[in-house]
Structure 1
Amino acid sequence: MTSERSGSCSSGTGGSCAYTAIGCSAPSRRPRTTQDTFLRAWRRLDTFQGRATFRAWLYRIATNTCLDTLGKRPREPIPEARSLPADPTAAPLPAVALRWVGPFPDRLLEPPAPSDSGPDAVAVSRETVELAFIVAVQHLPPRQRAVLILRDVLGWRAKEVAVLLESSVAATNSALQRARVTVQRHLPRRRVEWSPTRRPSEQERAVVRRYMDALARADDAVIGAMLREDARCSHQPGAGGHMDSAPVWYEGRDTLVAAWSPALRGPDAIEFRFRETRANGHPAIAVYMRPAGSDSAFEAFVLSALRIVHGRIAELTGFTSAVFPAFELPATLAPDSP
């Protein structure tokens, strides 16, 4: 839809908001929700009367599409506090703890128009695509989720949200307050220390490249120096060599370095190759591997989403190679790849 009516609305608009609402990790399901939105809009184009902006009309369709999707999907249980670390100020559940949550490519978060004054720009500029926020939102029932996204992500007024959801202003405000309390309870307490989502800085790029170089050289000392003392690493089942049926996460600089040591040296050592990308407003690394000393192609191993704080790596979240196509990453690299 690229007519004058549609203006700056694009698949990026529906895609990022659908992702925030649903958090779907299956690469085939996020585009399907966006496609359903635009298909519904096309079929109902004659119902657009011009009483509101075309963008608002389209967001109403997108919101209802997401609500329908959430209504059809069985509500999966979310792990309770017993899975949380003992430190109450530590980060809560990682994204991998929720099977249906996955990463979102930054290339789809680019504002679809030069102007940064519309709802798209608000959604991209705020920290509402970070994995921690996506996980927190999963604790909300569908309508509270919709209200929170429309009010706090897109900046809609209470009356506009009430009209869209066919509710009252009072009910909308009540849902928003309950949603805010729930989300705040499930966000990391130290999140205020995090850098806002932005374009990568030179310092951030330098950290990523030093980390990749240290892994390639199996340099434990440099790897350890680049991690925060409270760094956390997590993996989906099947990601990064984790073959158990349940996700895993562990924390502490020494714990991480010790856990990675067998892959860096010894009889089970791995040779790595890397490709840089970005996910959820932060740097990410596509990792490829082959047994050390082999002359075979490098196979997709893990997509590692990084969170860097004050020049050190604070968190690594590992997703399976199933997400590589969404990031336009190849499944293998040639044996002589740099």
Structure 2
Amino acid sequence: MDTLPESELLVAARRGDPAAFEQLVSRHRRELYAHCYRMLGSVQDAEDALQESLLGAWRGLANFEGRGSVRAWLYQITTNACLRLISRRPRRILSPDYGPPRRNTDDLGDPVTEPIWLEPWPDDEPAGAPGAVDPAARYLRRESVELAFVAALQHLPGTQRAVLILREVLEFPSADVARILDTTPPAVNSALQRARKAVRQRVPETTQQAELDAIGTRGQRELVDAFMRAWERADVAALLDLLAEDARFTMPPLPAWFRGQEDIGRFFTDQMFRAPWRLVPLGANGQPAFAGYRGEAAGDRFRLAGINVLAIRTGRIAWIASFLDPDVHRHFGLPSELPPDDSRTER
């Protein structure tokens, strides 16, 4: 059945063959998951929405008349599942949306455990996504999961959010988006204009993909390696040399965050480097990232403490987005601790 065309898989799935249905949706699963993440700003909410969507697709196969593609039909189901979830849950935010930066490093506040924080997205090409091997399409999709862009999307009403993603990220025609959202093409175009304007006000002029291209692959590697080496050495001066003057350090679910080299440096000195660290490089949201493992008092074990995503501006680090929630960490497939013989990870 692996080589059956979509039309034959659809017929078999309609007859009640779950294996055929699984193959029918498997080629779209990853991109649908990414769509849910863009809509919801949370990998955990995205999992819930995707599960609800695929269950709805299985139950609704008899109602699919085949007038459009299976992909568009799945996006219709998935988008509407996300819109229902948006109506029931608070929008996801960044630390600056929650409160002003702090200067006192002794009080980081109690963790805010309600589901309000934007979450990082583990880098992975959407398997089966149309154009996934096309460099231009890959570039666009990486831009579309950048932290700043996904955060800006969360400020839009649900329908505007859906329109912007479906039209500009997934490049569905207006007529298809109108069918997905049960509206009209003029309404889609009007919502798109409003969404574009609102997002433009909240994202940097230059995307992370453009910033990374500007310093090149070698420059990226040198910057990230220097940052990670300084962090592992607890060399605060070297770290600050790599930061933009107005850099931010955020760390949900703790409400505290710091802005500027001076305050970030004081936080590093007073709090961060009370224990040793080992770092493991990874990718998240199309941006450089690393997992931070914090040493225990005994000094022979390092436990996963945070996923850290870096935003670059003109060759310097402008934002360290540290995510401390263990429920977020599990999506990255990382070990919970580094054993003694692997405490210093090769890079």
Classify the TM-score, shorter chain. Answer: 0.7 to 0.9
| Structure 2 residue 248 is matched with structure 1 residue 232 | yes
In the other structure, the counterpart of 2:340 is 335
Instruction: Judging by fraction of residues, say which structure has more helix.
Output: 2
Give the distance between the partners of 1:193 and 1:143, measured in 2 at CA: 24
CA shift for structure 1 position 144: 1.4
In the other structure, the counterpart of 1:92 is none
**Would the alpha carbon gap of residues 83 and 98 (structure 1) be closer, same or farther in structure 2, given more than 3 Å must change?**
farther
CA distance 1:103–1:78, shift in 2 (3 Å) = closer
Shift, 1:205, TM fit: 2.3
Structure 1 unaligned residues grouped into runs of 5+: 86-95, 239-246
254, 265, 268: which one aligns with 2:262: 254
Are 1:277 and 2:293 an aligned pair?
A: no
For residue 81 of structure 1, report the CA deviation from its aligned partner: 7.8
CA change 1:193–1:117 in 2 (3 A) is closer
SS at match of 2:307: strand
Percent identical pairs in the alignment equals: 36
- How far 1:158 sits from its partner (Å)? 1.4
Given the two structures, how large is their TM-score scaled by the length of structure 2?
Answer: 0.78
Maintained 8 Å contact 1:272/1:287: yes
- Partner residue in 1 for 2:41: 23
1:139 is displaced (CA, Å) by 1.2
Aligned to 1:89: none
Contact 1:136–1:183 (8 Å) recurs in 2: yes
> Structure 2 vs 1, CA of residues 122 and 43 (structure 1 numbering), >3 Å: closer, same or farther?
farther
2:93/2:154 contact within 8 Å kept:
no
Query: Contact 1:8/1:113 (CA < 8 Å) preserved in 2?
Result: no
- The amino acid of 1:55's aligned partner reads R
1:55 matched to which residue of 2? 71
Q: What is the Cα deviation at residue 193 of structure 1?
A: 6.3
Shift of residue 217, structure 1, vs aligned partner: 1.4
* One-letter amino acid of the structure 1 residue matched with residue 163 of structure 2: V
TM-score by length of 1: 0.80
Residue 122 of structure 2 is matched in structure 1 by: 105
Structure 2 match to 1:14: 32
Alignment partners' CA distance in 1, 2:131 and 2:157: 33
Query: What SS does the corresponding residue of 1:129 show, helix, strand or coil?
Result: coil
CA deviation string 1:97-131 (max 9, x = no partner):
98231001002x4442584489x946853522111
Return the offset for 1:192.
2.0
Query: Residue deviations 1:85-107, cap 9 Å, x none?
Result: 8xxxxxxxxxx998231001002
SS at match of 1:284: strand
- Equivalenced residue count is 310
Q: Which residue of 1 aligns with 2:315?
A: 311
